[in-house]
Structure 1
C-alpha cells in the first residue's frame, strides 16, 4: 500500500449493522491482467456522501479513508503491487461521526497478481481436426510442474477451474455436444496450491471452431466506398463487406472480426448477396474480417466454416502519415523481358509498404529500420505487367492505420517502336520488288515463247535462232537471280 491509516482500527466488537444502509460496491482498476510492479486502485462506493470507508483483505482490516466532500466513493491505491498483495478484498462504510453503525460488506473482489517466475501454460483442443456440431471435445491445459490449479477462460471470462492430481501437470476440460455458442478463443492460467492469488501469465489463445464440413465456404470481399477500389477506408467513411454462398433465403449470415461475431444479416436480393455496412469507420474498425452462415432446421443448427479472411485498413488520422511517392526504375521505355523495380518512399524509416495494381494488393514489404523506402522487383516483364500501380504504408505496431495511397504510376511495356517500324517497312518494300521482278521475268518468258511460235514459219538461219534463244534465257535467268537476292 502507498499509505497507512493510523487510528483506523475501531473496536469492531461494538459495531452494529444499519439495515438502512445499502451494500457498497467494489471495483478494481485496471481490470485486466495485473503484474508485479503495476499501480492498482480499489474503489469503494456507497449510496450517499460524507462516508468513511474501510477496506478488508480476507476479513482483516487493511485501511480506512473518508470520501472527499460531496462524493460517495473513495479509492485505495497500491503502488508497485507485490505478489503478497493478491487476495480477496471487501469494503464497508459508515457515516462520518457515527463509527459504530456500519453497512454490510460488499461482494468480494479478487486481486490476482501475475507471477513472472511462473512460465506460460500451453493449451490445445482435442481432437484437433475440424469439429462438427454435436461432437464431444476436450480443451487441454498443461503447466511446467505437477499438482497445479488451472482455470479456463473464454474471451477473457472465467468458464471453469480444475485442481489437477498430484501426479499430473495438465488439466482436461470436457465439452459435450458442442454447438455454435461454444465457439471462441480460449486461454488458461494456473497457480500453485496454497497461493491462489499468484498466477501464471495466460496461455496463448486457441480458437474453437464448430462447423459442418458438408456446407460450402462463403466468399467475402470489400466493396469500394471510394473512387479507388482498395481495402482502405477513410476515417468517417463506410466499410461495406459483401458475403455470398450457394444458400440464400434459407440461411442467416454472420460477420466476424478477429474472430467474434459482430453482426448478423439475411440475403439481400438487390445485391445478390448479404451486405454488411459499418458506418462512420474509426481506426479501431480496421482489422481482419470473415463471414459464415448457418442453416437452422427444426432440431439443430448447421453452420459453414468461415470465409477466407479479408483485411480492412483505415487511413491514418495522424497528419504525419503523408502520402508516399512511387516511381518505376529505370524510367526509360521498358521492353518485354526487361527487369525493373517499383520504388515506394515514405516520410520516415522502418515502415511497412504494400503495392497495389489497379487497386488490388500485389505484395507487401517491411523496410529495414534504417530505410524509408521499399523496392519491389519485377523480372522478365511482359504485357500482363502493364497497368497503374500505387502504394501505401503503415507504421509498425499499428497495421490498420494506413497512409493515403500514393499517386498512380503507369507501367508501360513496349518494344522499340522506331526500329520495329523501319524493319517492317523495309521488309515490305523488298517483298514488293521481289514479286515485281518475278512477275516481269515470267512475262518475258511467255512473250518470247509467243514470238518463237510466230517466227517458226519465217525462214531464219539456224545461227540467228540460237543466238536469240540464248539471249532470252540469259535475261530471264538474271531476273530470277535478282529477285532471289534482293
Structure 2
C-alpha cells in the first residue's frame, strides 16, 4: 500500500489517558455469517475487569440486565435476525466495584443493505512532522471485517487491513490529506458507508507546548525564592527543554505524565527573572517544536518605594457591569508593573510596561467574580534589577450574583434516540477565575444531569446517549470556589425534545 503500514489491534480500545485506567467496556457485533451480516447477529460486551454484571441499552433505554453466577470478561447478547424491533443504536456497560462503568462505544444496527459507517480517529495527534509516526484508527461495528482507508483525491484505497478477530484496524499515515475509512464484510460485498472525514495536516515543526507558573502566565516572586514551571506538550514521550531567551536552563525536573514536565528553578537559576519558554522534540529527532507562549517571572527585592494603587471610579463598591480602572503609580518611568490579586494564592492579573510612571489595569463589566483585594508592584528591567515593595492593598467589592449564563442547543429539532445532545452554556467569567464548574440541570431536579470543569468562559455540556427519559426543560449555571466562592443564577430554560417521546 502507499502511505504507510497496517497495524492490527485487538477489540479493546486503548485509552489515550495515561493517568487514568480505562474502564469503559467495548461493544461489537458478531455475525453467524458475514455473507449475510444481519441474518443472525450477536452483540458482545467486553469488560475491562472481571465482573458478573452487564447491561445492554438500545436507543438510550435498558434492553437486558444480566447478573452472572461467576464473574466474566465479556457477555454475549443474541439478537437473532435483525427486525424493526431490534434496529437501533446500542451501548453497554459493566459492573465495577459494586457500581457501573461508563457506557461503551456506540454500535449501530440497521439491518439495511448499506452497512453503517465506522468511526475514524487520530493517534496521538492530527498532524505529521518529520519523525512523527501518526496513525488513524478505524473502528467498525462488526468483528472480522476488512477495513479500507481512502484519501480524498486518490482513486484507489490507500490501505486495506483484514481483521479476522478484531473490530478495528490502525493505519500508519505519512502524507497530509483528508481521510475516511469504511469496511466490507466479505470480498464481493460492497463497502460500508464511509466514516466522517478526518484532516491530517503537515507541519514544519510540532505544535507548541504550554508553559505556566501555578496555572498562570506570569508570577511575582521575592528575590531569592524558587519557582516551578510546568510545560505540557500535545503528545507523550518527548524530550523537553526550558529556555530564557536563547539560553537553555538546565536543572532538576520531574514528571507525573509522559506529556508534561516540571522545571524546578532555584534562586541561582531564576537569576533576575524575565520571559521563559519551553519546547520539545521527538526522541531521536533534531527538530524542536515551536516555542510555547512565554511565562513571565518578576523578581522583586522590595528595595524600591512601594507604588500607589487607586481605583477609578474611586469607590470600593462599583456597580455591576461597569468599567473599573486600577491605576498603579511609581516614582519614575521605564518600569514593569504587575497587578496582583490577593488571596490564598497571589495571582498576577496582568503585566504592563507603560511609557510613563503610571500603569492602568482595566476590569471590564465587573461582577462579584472581581471582588478581591488588589495590590501592585513594579520592577526595574535594567541592572541592578531592583523591585518595589507591594502597594497598600485596595479592596474591591461588587455586590450581587455573577451575570446569568446563556444556554443554547448545538443542534436543531428533536434528538434522535441513541444520539448525544450537546448544549452550550456561555458565561462572562473573567480570566482571573482559574477553574469554573458548569452544570446542566433539568427542571425540578437539584442534582446536575452533567457537569464540566474548565478554564474557558463556555462549556459544551453533553447528555450522552439520549433516550425518551431525557426529554424536558434544562437550564445551566456556573460556579467556582476560588479565588472567591460564587454561583450564578440559572439560565433561561431550553426544551430538549427527543424524537418519538
TM-score tier, shorter chain, comes to: 0.3 to 0.5
Higher relative contact order (CA 8 A, sep 6+): 2
- TM-score, normalising length from structure 1? 0.34
State TM-score, norm by structure 2: 0.34
More strand by share: 2
Higher helix proportion (structure 1 or 2): 1
Q: Which has the larger Rg?
A: 1
